[in-house]
Amino acid sequence: MGCDQDVEIKIWIDGDACPRPIKEIVFRASFKNKIPVCLVANSFVLVPKGPLISFVQVSKGGDVADLYIVEKVKRSDLVVTADIPLAALVVEKGAVAINPRGDLYTKDNVRERLSMRDFMESIRESGVNTGGPASHSAKDNQRFASSFNGVMTKMLRG
């Protein structure tokens, strides 16, 4: 089953920076619920063999994977991404977006997060060291699994 196949629900993973435990949670849910997953990345990523898991390697470039996902995503889909601009575009298209820490992006919060991201980027460009996000932890994996399972249950019920 390829990423272009038309199905009711599909899960997209923005794969370049997605932590391995998060991908594994999504793959297990895919097998359990018979939902196709398409991982999109600029570099090769090993994915489990099976008819429900697909991988698309796009050319190198900052937003190439993001643009691929935005072009293909449908309202009934779920996207796993830490990329706030991608999440904003996904939400704008009416699909669901969640980050690897389990935070759901919504119309209400994604614009605020995008503004904060842009603000912090401008501070960094002026030479201020703002540090980076905390390392992904086991607690983050648990939060993601809980939030992801709740979202999937809601989506499957329609």
Q: What is the length of the chain?
A: 158
- What is the per-residue pLDDT for 6? 65
Helix axes 64-72, 84-92, angle to 10 degrees: 20
Q: Residue ranges per domain, the chain?
A: 11-129+137-157
Q: Which residues pair with 97 in a beta bridge?
A: 79, 105
Which is it for the CA torsion 79, 114, 133, 127, positive or negative?
A: positive
Domain 11-129+137-157 has CATH 3.40.1000: no
Whole-angstrom distance, CA of residue 75 vs CA of residue 95: 4
Model confidence over 70-108: pLDDT tens digits?
999 999 999 999 988 999 999 999 999 999 999 999 988
Token pair listed for 20: 């391995």
Rg for the chain, CA atoms, rounded: 15
Model confidence over 3-46: pLDDT tens digits?
766 668 999 999 988 999 999 999 999 999 999 999 999 999 98
Full-model pTM: 0.86
* Of 46, 35, 44, 41, the residue nearest 5 (C-alpha): 35
DSSP 1: -
* Residue 156 pLDDT greater than 60, yes or no: yes
- What is the per-residue pLDDT for 4? 67
Which is it for the CA torsion 106, 33, 157, 148, positive or negative?
A: negative
User: Strand 96-98 to strand 104-105: parallel, antiparallel, or no bridges (unpaired)?
Assistant: antiparallel
User: Predicted confidence band at 59 (pLDDT cuts at 50, 70, 90)?
Assistant: very high
Higher pLDDT, 31 or 109: 31
| Angstrom distances, CA of residue 24 to CA of 55, 57, 88, 91, 108 | 14, 19, 24, 24, 29
- What is the per-residue pLDDT for 3? 75
- The pLDDT of 144-152, averaged and rounded, is 96
Whole-angstrom distance, CA of residue 98 vs CA of residue 4: 21
Whole-angstrom distance, CA of residue 139 vs CA of residue 141: 5
- What is the per-residue pLDDT for 124? 60
